[in-house]
Structure 1
Amino acid sequence: MLSRLWQIFCSTLAAFFGVQSDNQRQRDFRNRSPLPYIIMGILFAALLVLSLMWIVSQVLN
């Protein structure tokens, strides 16, 4: 379970920054549901927005 979560984390992070290989992307969606990747992507996007908001508030103060 933990190794699968780590694989989803790494795969989503690579895709989020646009550096994931085509072979890895195909492997990810060949055997599994896309739902965990969608959830992880939403979490990464929310974390990015919150961190940017925090950085801007620190700069402005």
Structure 2
Amino acid sequence: MWSIIQSVLAALIGVQKDRKRQQDFASEKPLGFIVAAILVTLIFVLILILVANIAAG
């Protein structure tokens, strides 16, 4: 599970080693990547909203 989260976070910022990317695409179970990507994206958006609300006062 930690490997999937690392891959999703690396993809989010656009930095990932080619070897790791090839491993990810060779995986026969993409559901874990899809769920992790959705969760990480939601958390990222919620953090941005929180920071914007704090900055707006």
TM-score category by the smaller chain?
0.7 to 0.9
Q: Which runs of 4+ in 1 moved over 3 A?
A: none
Which amino acid is the alignment partner of residue 53 of structure 1?
Answer: I
- Alignment match, 1:56: 52
1:13-52 equivalences under 5 Å are 13-52=9-48
Unmatched 5+ stretches in structure 2: none
Aligned residues: 57
- C-alpha deviation, 1:13, in angstroms: 0.9
- C-alpha deviation, 1:51, in angstroms: 0.4
- TM-score, normalised to structure 1, is 0.82
- Alignment match, 1:10: 6
Over the matched positions of the two proteins, sequence identity in percent amounts to 39
Higher RCO, 1 vs 2 (CA within 8 Å, ≥6 residues apart): 2
